[in-house]
Structure 1
Amino acid sequence: MVQPKNLKKLTRERMERTGESYTTARKNIMTNKPESPKAARAAAARNYGKEAAQKAKAPAPAAAAAPKQAPKQEELPEYPAPENVMQYDAALWHRVFTQAGVVNPVTGQPFTEAMLAGLAGGIGFMQHSFVDQDEVSVALITRAHPEPYTQNLLTRSGAKLLERTTSSPIRAAEYLDAGLDAGRAVVVRVAVNALPWIDADQVDEADTIDLAVVGDYEDDLLVDDGSGSLNAISPEDLSAARAKRKKEKFWQAWVVSRRSPKSEALAANVLDAISETTARLLGTSQMRGIPAHFAKNFGVAGMRTFAARLRDSEGKTGWAQLFAEDAQREQALEQLAGFLADTRFGGIGGLRGQYADFLDEAAELPGLEALGEHAASYAALAALWIDFSQLLFAELEPADLFNALAGALEQIADAEEHSAAALAETVAALRA
């Protein structure tokens, strides 16, 4: 449904004339429902009564009444600009929490991107590669997957949020306005290819992304998409982009209170998050929604599966046969490099350096000092992942390149297994 321009202004003017609630007034404007003369007369009478009551309560001119102080308004920090982003979703919520005034109970400072990324599940591994009708498809995910990354982040952070999902564009706009009117950024979920500044041909139709709506600009809305500056989008375009997200249609969330979690509760959630991360990497827990035959592509086992495919020179799933043509091989390597540099599903150093920062910060929580001992091993893993990324551009013959990549990945797999097993052992001891 197309929204008229200046909808907020029109809604509030109608509220004044008719006495309708904001929700009713907005709905009636959207459906072109005429204003009731009876409601307008009743609103005028109420306004007249309020003015008369205020005059009756006013002190006599001669009385030296003490001036009343205006009620204290909650002052919130300005919405911060994206800076040195490692992981998109954790960075987005770092900015939203910062603007809402939610802080880490130990440091008294806003939750860092590293802490939120660790709470979301931190790191992981998943790889797949195939050619379908000459179209190359390669993916390599190094963040937590397939668990619900953002939902885990929100739940474990302990922040007080209001989440809404609706199939009604009118109701969704009302929910959005409620958050903005409270002075909070509102996070919404949209189809990437429906955004006006995105080339729809360059992204998959199923790709979605979360944006933070931070306020109004004339007739448009300002959104944070992690680009470093705010983009303006019309309410109509935003509604259309949200509507194309079939699952969780018109989902949104905003922070309703600057209340911070208790340090003890945050410490317990940190341990839950780390247990999930290590179990996923070591393959000691079953992943929900993942078929048994595909589970071999996840975690440390997935790293070894990928290394074997890189070395395989004869099998159909080996990279030597799968990407025998030069053009397809170049596409595969470019896609692999793109995932490793991406901030949505990967990141520099496979996000292992960020995970080291998370462990260092988590060690400041009560009773979790031992976690800091593992930060160095994940910092070392980040260096190995960077070496692997740079090797993709080595000027080698295809067979030599694939063998070199396989060797680097086997070294990473051994280090990942050792680090995850040691970290899991520490968490078990902390819980004992």
Structure 2
Amino acid sequence: MNYTQLGGIHPETATMTNVLANQGFVSPHNGRPLSEAMVLGIAGGLGCGYILWEFKKYEAAILVMGFQNKWNYTTQFMQNFCDRVGVKAEFLETGGAKTAAKHLDDALADGRFPIAWVDQEKLPYFYLRPMYSGCFGHFVTVFGQEDGRYLLDDRSQKPLTVDGQTLSDARKRIGSYKNRLLLLEANGSAFDLPAAIMAGLEDCVDYLSQSSQTFALPTYKKWARMMTHTKNKKGWPVVFKEKVGLYSTLRSLHEGIKLFGTADGGLRGVYADFLDEASAILNQPSLSEAAEQYRGVATLWRNFADAALPDEIAPLKETKALLAKKYDTFLKHGTEADTELRQLSQQLQDMEVELNGRFPITDNAMHALFAEMQGHLEQIYIAEKEALATLAGAIS
């Protein structure tokens, strides 16, 4: 098969970046494939999102965070990128498993590399607890078949394989995008790169500048307030009064900011790389000033993620180390390191089950932790606003 795995960071952009690179799609300014940072920027760049999900039946809670533009409308995010670079995007959906399998197999037979919407929990190499079935949408590229199994590109340097039934189950689990595929087709002609970059920059500024407390920068101001709010039912002192589910929440916060698809800082560092590329292409030095600010924001996000799992609490320090090792092993070796990945995942699952019910912290220490985290969020909010102002000024 004529497909090269290139790794990647963020599922939505890594899939598009790698498929187009394998189709020979190149940038008109240097004749090379677009970087993942450039794909992110052209598609609209950054976003904000914060949802606290409680699973009281399982004594668990998790944070879901969105860091990309239109993170809750991924088809629009991907379509915007394709429109701006002249790539045809074909979305296929069906309620039937047989038709879904035919869509996939026909695309592979045509030498195409379909991007599939899947449920993380159904993919065996993630080793998620069954309680998370249907919770986490994900994106993989299917690039071939071997010995009756499908080959997946999921940001790892190594191919991942799943059997047909497993892939079918993963594709159909989440009803809002049941069996969806995206087929990309480059038309072979050059596109207006500066115009595509400007469209992405304007989209990002407009999106982050809105007043929404769910999808724009005020999200972080609201989140900071919830960290110590004792009256609101979503305030952390209220939600975690008995500390039930606190462990999984703090872990998902750390994981979602530093490890899973965010490049160690809520995608802010990746976006800074885009701004540096854009600065050179557009001959606009002030974009590099914004890039430096966003790198500073990425550092603040990393600090926040580490503060959520303080080293002073031994099980949280151990969790941080196990998570880092698991992700590094997966990205470097894929399922070739299946035994080690399974062992690491089992350790983390055992800790989650044990510590969600009895978190090793006093009430005073918990409230102090929440106050510290609030301080981090307040810093992040101010820095995000300053970086956005610089970005807006650079393109005005």
Q: Same fold (TM over 0.5)?
A: yes
Match of 1:322 among 239, 259, 269: 239
Q: Distance in 2 between matches of 1:316 and 1:238?
A: 39
Gaps of 5+ in 1: 1-75, 285-294
Match of 2:200 among 253, 259, 273: 273
Match of 2:297 among 381, 385, 392: 381
Matched, 1:407 2:375: yes
Aligned partner of 2:318 in structure 1 is: none
TM-superposed deviation, 1:362: 1.7
Q: Distance in 1 between matches of 2:85 and 2:379?
A: 34
Match of 2:185 among 256, 260, 276: 256
Percent identity between the aligned chains? 26
Contact kept in structure 1, 2:93 and 2:180, CA below 8 Å: yes
Matched, 1:154 2:86: no
Aligned partner of 1:312 in structure 2 is: 229
TM-score, reference length from structure 2: 0.75
Contact kept in structure 2, 1:223 and 1:231, CA below 8 Å: yes
Larger RCO (alpha carbons 8 Å, 6+ apart): 2
Contact kept in structure 2, 1:116 and 1:157, CA below 8 Å: no
Q: Distance in 2 between matches of 1:172 and 1:140?
A: 29
TM-superposed deviation, 1:280: 2.6
TM-superposed deviation, 1:204: 3.2
TM-superposed deviation, 1:109: 1.0
TM-superposed deviation, 1:140: 2.9
Cα distance change of structure 1 residues 306 and 247 upon mapping to structure 2, 3 Å threshold: closer
Deviations 1:313-335 (A, max 9, x none): 55543322321224433332222
TM-superposed deviation, 1:111: 1.0
Q: How many residues align?
A: 338
Cα distance change of structure 1 residues 316 and 173 upon mapping to structure 2, 3 Å threshold: closer
SS at match of 1:296: coil
Contact kept in structure 2, 1:81 and 1:229, CA below 8 Å: no
SS at match of 1:400: helix
Q: Distance in 1 between matches of 2:391 and 2:240?
A: 37
Contact kept in structure 1, 2:60 and 2:246, CA below 8 Å: no
Amino acid at match of 1:278: V
Amino acid at match of 2:160: N
Contact kept in structure 2, 1:88 and 1:343, CA below 8 Å: no
SS at match of 1:123: coil
Cα distance change of structure 1 residues 222 and 319 upon mapping to structure 2, 3 Å threshold: same
Aligned partner of 1:184 in structure 2 is: 112
Aligned partner of 2:23 in structure 1 is: 100
Q: Distance in 2 between matches of 1:170 and 1:214?
A: 19
| Range that drifts further, 274-283 or 173-182 | 173-182
Deviations 1:350-369 (A, max 9, x none): 21111100111122334655
TM-superposed deviation, 1:220: 2.6
TM-superposed deviation, 1:283: 1.8
Alignment of 1:199-214 (within 5 A): 199=128, 201=130, 203-214=132-143
Aligned partner of 1:341 in structure 2 is: 258
Contact kept in structure 2, 1:186 and 1:214, CA below 8 Å: yes
TM-superposed deviation, 1:399: 2.4
Contact kept in structure 1, 2:119 and 2:136, CA below 8 Å: yes
Contact kept in structure 1, 2:263 and 2:269, CA below 8 Å: no
Aligned partner of 1:80 in structure 2 is: 5
Aligned partner of 2:320 in structure 1 is: none
Q: Distance in 1 between matches of 2:87 and 2:55?
A: 44
Contact kept in structure 1, 2:60 and 2:249, CA below 8 Å: no
Q: Distance in 2 between matches of 1:244 and 1:402?
A: 35
SS at match of 1:299: coil
Between structure 1 and structure 2, the one with the greater Rg is: 1
Q: Distance in 2 between matches of 1:86 and 1:278?
A: 23
Q: Distance in 1 between matches of 2:284 and 2:107?
A: 36
Deviations 1:231-264 (A, max 9, x none): 23334443443334434443323333462541x2
Contact kept in structure 2, 1:213 and 1:222, CA below 8 Å: yes
TM-superposed deviation, 1:90: 1.1
TM-score, reference length from structure 1: 0.69
Q: Distance in 1 between matches of 2:235 and 2:169?
A: 42
Q: Distance in 2 between matches of 1:205 and 1:130?
A: 13
Cα distance change of structure 1 residues 167 and 209 upon mapping to structure 2, 3 Å threshold: same
Amino acid at match of 1:412: I
Aligned partner of 1:359 in structure 2 is: 275
Aligned partner of 2:175 in structure 1 is: 246
Aligned partner of 1:423 in structure 2 is: 391
Cα distance change of structure 1 residues 393 and 231 upon mapping to structure 2, 3 Å threshold: closer
Aligned partner of 2:41 in structure 1 is: 118
Deviations 1:94-147 (A, max 9, x none): 211111111121121111111112223322222233646454243333233334
Alignment of 1:284-323 (within 5 A): 295-313=212-230, 315-323=232-240
Deviations 1:146-183 (A, max 9, x none): 34333333333432444433445555444434432343
Contact kept in structure 1, 2:13 and 2:39, CA below 8 Å: yes
| Range that drifts further, 385-394 or 184-193 | 184-193
